[in-house]
Amino acid sequence: MRAPLARKRIQHWRHNARRRGRTLVALLGMTGTLPLADAAFASGIPFATDRPQTWQFSSDFEGTYDSFGENIWWNHDSRAFDSHGNQINGPDTNTFVGLSTFIHYWKLSSLPHVGFNASITVPAIRTQGSQFAASGIGDPLIGGLVWYNPAPATTLGFQAYVQVPIGQNSVSTNTWSFWPSVFYDDWYGHVNVDLLVGGILRGRTLRSGHDDLSPGDTFHLNLRIGYSISPPDNPFAIPFFALDHQTSGGTFNQTAGIPVGNSASRETTVGAGVLFQFKPNSLPFVHQKMYDQLSIQYQHSVSGRNTTLTNAVLVQAWHYW
């Protein structure tokens, strides 16, 4: 039940000028920075593919186990928000992001209500438009988390990841970044509340032949509220509501000694979806350690500034063994 990660694109273009650009997709957050013209348009909110029970973990297990997850994110980039929050024409591209994550879980006998995991997430990215296309393997995200169960159905925890800028040049952020966050998950009867609050702290962006940049840091919040149609101890379908927000600081051009205009961004989105849970050993040809999950959701921006408008379909699947 994870998250991890997806993209932040920045495209810079004049409203009435020829668009030019490249796409940078950062894991789990979809956040990156690249100056290409006079205005900066970033899009994507970190951990937007979250669903109910993303951050629900149990310390009631023996030994170790593993999981593999796939997050698929599609956004139609036809509209954008300008620096005043008004909607304008966007880059008119279609962006596809696939995040493949492997996670290993373990616990210590001396800490019966605490668990740990370590993970690696690798993105595959494609952005396609009439005047622009980019694709490739992006920067991996490596790290882990620790959780605590004060009660059987309650989870509190902290996670931290490092994004390593070794992806293919057309989609790499060329920036080291650190992703800390805290999470909470609990059940209130049939209602599941899942909350993540965190940030992205970025180093300097270094690309041969380009100015050195100091991109702004990001704050994000991701809330999911779901309702289990069946009893929560035997879940199957959980419809849910999604609320996401990100605020990113502006970029400073270290070479020129000036800030990059209109490079600070913010965005708030709402969405809805459904999470399906599959009991252990209920799926044919697959050995399940615990419940596997499949979620589908739609998200749309309600406000923003200097960002491509979110109009996205997100799919997430997890298998445990």
At residue 232 the predicted structure's pLDDT band, cuts being 50, 70 and 90, is confident
- The CATH superfamily label for domain 9-320 reads monomeric porin ompg (2.40.160.40)
List of residues 6+ apart from 138 with CB closer than 8 A? 7, 25, 26, 27, 122, 123, 124, 125, 167, 168, 171, 172, 173
Burial 184-201 (b: 16+ CB within 10 A, else e): bbbbeeeebebbbebbbe
The pTM of this model reads: 0.86
pLDDT at 313: 98
Six token digits for residue 116 = 């740990």
Give pLDDT tens digits for 123-182.
999 999 888 888 999 999 999 999 999 999 999 999 999 999 999 998 999 999 999 999
pLDDT band at 43; cut points 50, 70, 90: low
At 207, is the secondary structure helix, strand, or coil?
coil
Please give the share of the chain, as a percent, with pLDDT higher than 90.
Answer: 75
For residues 318 and 278, give the distance between their C-alpha atoms in angstroms, rounded to a whole number: 10
**Per-domain residue ranges of the chain:** 9-320
| pLDDT 10s digits, 196-223 | 999 999 999 988 889 999 999 999 999 9
Range 232-259 average pLDDT = 95
In sequence order, the 6+-apart residues with CB closer than 8 A to the CB of 54 are 1, 2, 3, 47, 183, 185, 194, 196, 224
Backbone phi and psi for residue 178, each to the nearest 5 degrees, phi listed first: -120, 130
Predicted pLDDT of residue 27: 38
Structure tokens at 146: 């620790």
Alpha-carbon span 259 to 67, nearest angstrom:
43
